[in-house]
Chain A
Amino acid sequence: MNRFAKNFLVASSLSAVMLTMRSASLASVDDAQSFALQAAEPYVKEGFQVREDYWGGDLGGGEKKAVRQQLFKGNEYWFWMGTEVERAKISVHVYDQEGKLAEQGDGWEKGHFAGAHIIPKATGSYFIIVAIEESPEERTHWALVYGFR
């Protein structure tokens, strides 16, 4: 095999591996999103409009991530988090700009699903803290969706 052909083969194999890795990683966040949407499903019947847009990524066990979101007084919001790692334990909580816990008391954590509920007392920015509390995986994909009414 000549040098050009060798290089071409190596480059195309590397590209194929990278493409596969990229689509695998995308697929997992997509999977996590479908679990987050599954958690949201019962609330749609209660009049919540679930946004198409969502946040997602991956975290190690015990790691947290903050998401900043503009909320409007007068609306009621639920944030739903999901992961495809069934044996993971996850959580989601909402804080105001001063870092004070701002959610209602009916939030929940059920294994690889979690939900947080807020009726904002003021219009402004809030922090939604997502966490992978425990996971058998080194990195765990997560997705967060929200709905309002």
Chain B
Amino acid sequence: MSPTTNYLKLGAFALAGLTICANAAQAPVRIDVKSLTKNVEDVVVPLPNEVFGALNKLGSVNWKEYVRSQKGSNFTERPRIALLLGTVIADGFVAVQAQDTPAVKDIGQRVLVLAKAIGVGNSITPHAKAIIEAADKTRWESVRQELDRTQFSVQSAMNEVHDEKLSQLVSLGGWLRGTEVLTAVVNKRFSAEGAELLHQPDLLNHFQTQLQGMPEFKHPIIREIHDALVEVRPLIDKERITPEGVKKINDITTRIGNGIVTKE
């Protein structure tokens, strides 16, 4: 074997060793989170079914009780449609939990109507069809996936035409409805673990910051949501959330939820 080949072999071993070291490199067990604050990406708002899944693991829930048949008013103001759209998609996740085929199909239609009203109907049509077809075949996992795709497509279409604020309202509407249902379930059968699911202070910060950046939306419902988040904040920003706290958050989110679906 020539010296060159030996060197090449050694080099190859050294490289392999380096690769193994890189793969085996341990992450630091502790980092300074304060140093990260300037370099933190925005949050991805969890879908309602993420929290519903965690709730399900704490005991069986009669999801049929929480399926909403109220379709909501026909609004012409885009911010109101965006909020309602988020709420209706969240209702879709509730209906999937309840395995309620007619409700899911209604929601599929409703999502399409609202998306068209806000100008993003084209990107939603295939998803709405897929939701209806999957509900007919009781393929709930596919319905969940299509609801996620629907929300993502709606928001992407809005972001593409620089309607980011409307996109944020879709997320906010979904979060409010999800929180309304979560608190209703926990309120009915309180458990500390169920209440802990409400501990979401950073998400609340995220929504509050976004609402502060929407001074042009002068609808009373936007102001009401802003005030509601201020009320909710001290109730969830604690280690142990009390039954009274859960009840209060439910009252607040129910009031706001009614405001989102109803015309003043």
Binding site for B on A (CB under 8 A): 49, 51-55, 57, 64-70, 72-75, 89, 91, 93, 95, 97-101, 103, 107, 109-110, 122-125, 127, 129, 133-134, 146, 148-149
- Residues of A close to B36: CB separation below 8 A: 66, 127, 129
How many whole Å from A80's CB to the nearest CB in chain B? 14
How many whole Å from B36's CB to the nearest CB in chain A? 4
Are A72 and B50 touching (Cβ within 8 A)?
yes
Are A65 and B28 touching (Cβ within 8 A)?
no
- Residues of A close to B144: CB separation below 8 A: 49
Apart from A74-B54, A122-B196, A127-B36, list 17 A-B contacts with CB within 8 A: A55-B42, A66-B36, A66-B40, A67-B40, A70-B43, A70-B203, A72-B51, A74-B57, A74-B193, A74-B197, A75-B53, A75-B57, A91-B27, A100-B30, A101-B27, A109-B25, A127-B40
Q: What's the A-B contact tally at a CB cutoff of 8 Å? A: 118
Complex Cα–Cα for A110 and B203 (A): 32
Q: Using an 8 Å CB-CB cutoff, how does the interface string of B98-126 with A read, 1 for contact, 0 for none?
A: 00000000000000000000000000000
How many whole Å from B110's CB to the nearest CB in chain A? 20
Binding site for A on B (CB under 8 A): 22-23, 25, 27-33, 36, 39-47, 49-51, 53-55, 57-58, 141, 144-145, 148-149, 151-152, 155, 193, 196-203
Complex Cα–Cα for A59 and B28 (A): 20
Complex Cα–Cα for A30 and B99 (A): 34
Are B43 and A68 touching (Cβ within 8 A)?
yes
A133's nearest neighbour on chain B, judged by CB, is B22
- Residues of B close to A70: CB separation below 8 A: 43, 46, 200, 202-203
Are B41 and A66 touching (Cβ within 8 A)?
yes
How many whole Å from A147's CB to the nearest CB in chain B? 10
Complex Cα–Cα for A103 and B31 (A): 13
**Taking A49-B145, A70-B46 as contacts, is the C-beta distance between A93 and B40 under 8 angstroms?**
no
Are B201 and A99 touching (Cβ within 8 A)?
no
Are B41 and A55 touching (Cβ within 8 A)?
yes
**Taking A122-B196, A125-B201 as contacts, is the C-beta distance between A66 and B30 under 8 angstroms?**
no
How many whole Å from A53's CB to the nearest CB in chain B? 5
Are A95 and B47 touching (Cβ within 8 A)?
no
Are A99 and B31 touching (Cβ within 8 A)?
yes
Are B40 and A68 touching (Cβ within 8 A)?
yes
